[in-house]
Structures are given as structure tokens and as C-alpha cells.
Chain A
Amino acid sequence: KAGVTQTPRYLIKTRGQQVTLSCSPISGHRSVSWYQQTPGQGLQFLFEYFSETQRNKGNFPGRFSGRQFSNSRSEMNVSTLELGDSALYLCASSPGVAGHGYTFGSGTRLTVV
């Protein structure tokens, strides 16, 4: 089974710009969750998509949005980037039902300058 693929691996953007990150989950997995990790911080939950619907959402501003396509691939968008958005963004794939863990991608390192 191919793993979770996140693209791009690295990204440098300027304040005020917007960015789109992509995640391809494991084949057959219907759930994709997004997390933000900043230095010294744990995993901050952004949102989770299941069968093209946002099923859960963390406490992030509306500048952070996402979507999921019919093939379960997901994109995350951040608009009006701020310096504080610099982080490692992680995508996790799972079957989406209780009793299963997540498989993470390698992440996208976003740097906002």
C-alpha cells in the first residue's frame, strides 16, 4: 500500500499571500485530518474530512479551510498568510471509523516571510 503523500514538502510564501497544500491518503481510507505543528508545540488539530464532508473542526480562524474530493484526496488552503502560520502541516489518513489509528504523511514545511 502506498503511504500518505503530501505535496509540496517545502514552501516559502510572503505575508498576505495564500497557499494550498495537498494530501493523498492511503487507498481505501475515507478520512483525512489536518494538523499544524509549530516549534515546541504539539499537534494542533485543524479539521477532518470524511467522504467529502468536513466532520470536525479545530479552533483555527476562518483563513484556514479545506476540502476533500471524491477520490478522498484533500487540500488545505490558508489565505492572507501571517508570519505565525509558519509551521509543519501534517495530514493524517484513516479509515474514519472508531478503533483505528492514523497514518501520517511527511508533512509540508511552510515558511512565511
Chain B
Amino acid sequence: DQQVKQNSPSLSVQEGRISILNCDYTNSMFDYFLWYKKYPAEGPTFLISISSIKDKNEDGRFTVFLNKSAKHLSLHIVPSQPGDSAVYFCAASARSNYQLIWGAGTKLIIKP
């Protein structure tokens, strides 16, 4: 049972445009959500997070939106840069639990 789903295995975006990565979850107990970025042969690095008391969190070029009623979150990258080409994972956890549940990842390719 996949509690966190990233339905797009890959996404290709023109440099300078907006990249939108999506993530859906099924567990209504999740209240903390994170995005990680991963380059090949490296460990994932934390990008941005959001708690369920918010519907938006922004950090520079990165914004995460949370729609609790739809159980959906998205990561917006504006403008997209070549260095953003990586695999992006979303993860979620519940206040009652310590464990992060991971999506399968979306490979973002930024075209010059």
C-alpha cells in the first residue's frame, strides 16, 4: 500500500520556466511533509518542508504547496536552472510516528 505517491517518474522542463512536481498521499494522519533532492551516486539532501498547519512554504526559488482536502502537495521551482536536474522525493510523517514514508521519486530534467 503506497501511502505516498509520485505518479510522474520523470519531468522535462525548459530552463527558466517553472517546474512543478506533484505528490499525493493517502494517510490523513500525515502532518509533516518534506521534499528531498538527489543527484546520482549521492545521498538525498533536504530541500524544503511544510507542516499541515500551513498551505504554503517558500524558500528562494522553491515553494511547496499543501492541499489537505485533496491530500496533495506540490513543489514549484521558479525559475528552473540546469543544476536543478535531479531526482526529487517527497516524504511524509505523522505526529504520532517518527518514520518518514517516501514517494518513488520524480526525475526532473532541465533542458537548456
A residues whose Cβ falls under 8 Å from a Cβ of B: 4, 6, 31, 41-43, 45, 48, 50, 55-56, 88, 90-92, 94, 96-107, 109
Contact = CB atoms under 8 A, between A and B. Distances in A.
A106 B104 CA distance: 19
Contacts, number: 58
B46 A103 contact: yes
A90 B43 contact: yes
Given A99-B32, A99-B95, A104 B44 contact: yes
Contact of B96 (A98, A102, A104, A107): A98
Contact of B99 (A56, A103, A106): A56
A97 B93 CA distance: 10
Given A98-B94, A99-B95, A104 B45 contact: yes
Given A55-B98, A96-B98, 16 more contacts: A42-B89, A42-B103, A42-B105, A48-B99, A56-B99, A91-B43, A94-B98, A98-B32, A98-B94, A98-B96, A99-B93, A99-B95, A101-B34, A101-B36, A101-B46, A102-B46
A52 to B, nearest CB: 16
B59 interface: no
A101 to B, nearest CB: 5
B81 interface: no
